[in-house]
Structure 1
Amino acid sequence: MNLNSVLKYRSLLLLFVFLTISCGDDKKKEVTQEEPQVEKVVNVPNFNPDSAYHFIKTQVDMGPRVPNTAAHKEAGDYFIATLQSYGAEVQTQEFEATTFDNEKLYLRNIIASFNPGKKKRVLLAAHYDTRPFADKDKERPNEPIAGANDGASGVGVLLEVARVISTNRPPDIGIDIIFFDGEDWGETEGSTRTAPANGTDSWWCLGSQYWSKNKHKKGYSAYYGILLDMVGAKGAQFPMEDTSLYYARSIVEKVWDRAAKLGFSSYFVRKQPGGITDDHSFVNKYANIPMIDIVHYDPATGYFGDFHHSHKDDMDIISKETLEAVGQTLLAVLYYE
């Protein structure tokens, strides 16, 4: 073999080695890319369903929290004092609104902020007023309802969330809790007055409409929001509601996936039975914050259940198991942010 042949042979050998190493590196890279990512482990504190139940009963024991009544004012004062005792910065929004039956209401939204200096914020909400009449009930239809589930349950869960984050290491985000007022004085079936007044879109959800157009803090926004409405009934199911999916599908998936990982998929069901008008509708539309609704669904009767706007909505239908499913899921979502 002459010198030229030797040099040619060595060049080919070096090229072969280089290509072999390069291919090997590529294969290693491909294998690394296909390896599944392991989710970080986060220490999520426990939600106490007994405490949430107590918060609900405390509200019900005050009597129906109908706007313009003593019980309504007592409830609002109680929420403010409780949230302040947990270290939250609390603000109120007082405003007036007219109902479909021409009642003038004196309303108050209550806003509590945790970690106010954090730029990334999550908004949690529920309404605290109760229906002034049991218009879906054959008995005593003109009397107000107790509102154990419709009103008190969402507030009770959020008060317990506030208590938990105040007594443990809080999530590394800002959290705002809003208790909307005036949600439940919408028109009754057969009402002849249908056009909303005072620039509102609906006779329902007066507090969320007002806040969405007049935020408590100039320029306020949140990464996303979660509304709780009727989250305490025995055997409850919470579907993927259409308005939530339209505005915030990724947040719906985030919450329902977290619930499944915790073993609560029998509560957070992957049904899509349609949409409703609720407080989240106006937060999405006017506040431009993607907000989802965790709301009761009954496979037999549709949204809300047979207790809705009736005297059945009392403490007898409240389940600590349901409260735990909602509350523990909510805490996990917050702590995994």
Structure 2
Amino acid sequence: MNRSRIALFLLVLFILSGVYIWFQSNKSQETNIESAAVIIETPVFNSDSAYAHIAKQVSFGPRNPNSPAQIRCKDWIVEKLKGYGWQVKIQEFTSFRYDGYKMKGYNIMAQFQPQIQKRILLGAHWDARSIADKDSVDKNKPIDAANDGGSGVGVMLEIARLLSETTKKPTVGVDLIFFDLEDHGEPHDFTGNPSTTSWALGSQHWATNIIPENYRPYYGILLDMVGARGAKFPHEGSSMQYAPGIVRSIWATAADLGYGNMFIDEDAFGISDDHTAVNEVGKIQMIDIIDIRPVNGGFDFGSFHHTHQDNLSTIDKSTLKAVGQTLLQVLYRE
């Protein structure tokens, strides 16, 4: 064989080898992508049941501080959790509203499979705002807070029920924290200098006095306004600062389940919410799933936010389903 033929043979061999390597590499990448999207068998989230939990909260009346409805709802949440076999602790505390009004609060902590060391924390606030400051009527009356308060609780109680009843348990321990006194900061038309700490008072207290003692979950997920029709959950800005990897993982899980139309791949502004103190004071990574809707190049919380329109008519079972099923998949993938 002459030199030209040898050279041609080697060139063809080199090209074929390159094609083979590229094919195998591409096949390997496709396999990795497919395996990342494997759906784990989990309990089926029941949005009807979650909706019923929200309706029950609303039936007590607005759960604003120092009201009979606050006590009735607190007792009901505790009763439900204990009935599902969860270990429950109540953290009582006193705090002051921006105007000096003294408020009694109750954080509720529940644990499932407490013997497991690796734990995931789910959180939501359960109180209702004392005023409808964004409304045009009855601005000084408390709101139903079906979405902003009730929805996160409804989703978590349904997860509590499912985990207690299913035979196939997650390999991680699961904890639920129900924060009180989240929604009592300055009104929308406040003319003074708003405080950075007038909101999320229950989580501030818990982060400073964490129960159980020495509690260190793997990470936490906060649910805030997770039940409304047309909800959009972008990457909340503070969550991307505190734990961007956790945000991306949860949003990828939602996309795997077909909920990418709600868990949108967009970055929104950061807000001060219950996850703020948990991250900054409690030193626990916690991200926020919150309905922040793209509007005219920006974002807002929806026309019903902090109005009397935040009632049961805003709740959409398909939104509850998307959030609840995504959370179950997250828990079972850990």
Shorter chain as normaliser: what TM range?
0.7 to 0.9
Question: Structure 2 matches for 1:31-46, cutoff 5 A?
Answer: 35=28, 36-37=31-32, 38-39=35-36, 42-46=40-44
Q: 1:317 aligns with which of 306, 311, 314?
A: 314
Distance 1:284 1:85, change over 3 A: same
- In structure 1, what is the equivalent of residue 177 of structure 2? 178
SS at match of 1:299: strand
Provide the C-alpha distance between the structure 2 equivalents of 1:144 and 1:82, rounded to a whole number of angstroms. 25
Q: 1:275 aligns with which of 267, 270, 287?
A: 270
SS at match of 1:283: helix
SS at match of 1:117: coil
Please, what TM-score do these two structures have when normalized by structure 1? 0.87
Provide the C-alpha distance between the structure 2 equivalents of 1:88 and 1:217, rounded to a whole number of angstroms. 14
Deviates more, 1:44-53 or 1:185-194: 185-194
Do 1:227 and 1:280's aligned partners in 2 also have CA atoms closer than 8 Å?
yes
> In structure 2, what residue type is equivalent to 1:293?
D
Are 1:235 and 2:234 matched, yes or no?
A: no
Report how many residues are paired. Answer: 307
SS at match of 1:160: helix
Do 1:120 and 1:222's aligned partners in 2 also have CA atoms closer than 8 Å?
yes
Provide the C-alpha distance between the structure 2 equivalents of 1:284 and 1:105, rounded to a whole number of angstroms. 24
- In structure 2, what is the equivalent of residue 213 of structure 1? 208
SS at match of 2:174: strand
Q: Which runs of 5+ in 2 are unaligned?
A: 1-16
Do 2:233 and 2:292's aligned partners in 1 also have CA atoms closer than 8 Å?
yes
Are 1:223 and 2:218 matched, yes or no?
A: yes
Question: Structure 2 matches for 1:115-126, cutoff 5 A?
Answer: 115-126=113-124
Provide the C-alpha distance between the structure 2 equivalents of 1:31 and 1:305, rounded to a whole number of angstroms. 49
Do 1:111 and 1:176's aligned partners in 2 also have CA atoms closer than 8 Å?
yes
Do 1:100 and 1:194's aligned partners in 2 also have CA atoms closer than 8 Å?
no
Larger radius of gyration: 1
> In structure 2, what residue type is equivalent to 1:149?
N
Q: How far did 1:34 drift?
A: 6.9
> In structure 2, what residue type is equivalent to 1:159?
L
Do 1:186 and 1:204's aligned partners in 2 also have CA atoms closer than 8 Å?
yes
Q: How far did 1:287 drift?
A: 1.0
Please, what TM-score do these two structures have when normalized by structure 2? 0.88
> In structure 2, what residue type is equivalent to 1:329?
T
Of all paired residues, the percent bearing the same amino acid is 46
SS at match of 1:134: coil
Are 1:255 and 2:250 matched, yes or no?
A: yes
SS at match of 2:243: helix
Question: Structure 2 matches for 1:47-196, cutoff 5 A?
Answer: 47-168=45-166, 169-191=168-190, 194=193
Provide the C-alpha distance between the structure 1 equivalents of 2:326 and 2:111, rounded to a whole number of angstroms. 20
- In structure 2, what is the equivalent of residue 303 of structure 1? 300
Distance 1:273 1:81, change over 3 A: same
Do 1:101 and 1:193's aligned partners in 2 also have CA atoms closer than 8 Å?
no
Deviation by residue 1:68-126 (Cα, 9 ceiling, x = unmatched): 00000110100001001111100010010011121111111000000101110101000
Do 1:237 and 1:297's aligned partners in 2 also have CA atoms closer than 8 Å?
yes
**RMSD, matched Cα:** 2.0
> In structure 2, what residue type is equivalent to 1:211?
W
- In structure 2, what is the equivalent of residue 16 of structure 1? none
Distance 1:139 1:290, change over 3 A: same
> In structure 1, what residue type is equivalent to 2:212?
K
- In structure 2, what is the equivalent of residue 332 of structure 1? 329
Provide the C-alpha distance between the structure 1 equivalents of 2:208 and 2:44, rounded to a whole number of angstroms. 35
Q: How far did 1:131 drift?
A: 0.4
Provide the C-alpha distance between the structure 2 equivalents of 1:85 and 1:104, rounded to a whole number of angstroms. 32
Do 1:187 and 1:194's aligned partners in 2 also have CA atoms closer than 8 Å?
no
Deviation by residue 1:181-203 (Cα, 9 ceiling, x = unmatched): 0001111145466575xxxx511
Provide the C-alpha distance between the structure 2 equivalents of 1:33 and 1:298, rounded to a whole number of angstroms. 37
Provide the C-alpha distance between the structure 2 equivalents of 1:62 and 1:213, rounded to a whole number of angstroms. 30
SS at match of 1:251: helix
Deviates more, 1:255-264 or 1:30-39: 30-39
Do 2:186 and 2:194's aligned partners in 1 also have CA atoms closer than 8 Å?
no
- In structure 2, what is the equivalent of residue 11 of structure 1? none
Do 1:208 and 1:283's aligned partners in 2 also have CA atoms closer than 8 Å?
yes
SS at match of 1:276: coil
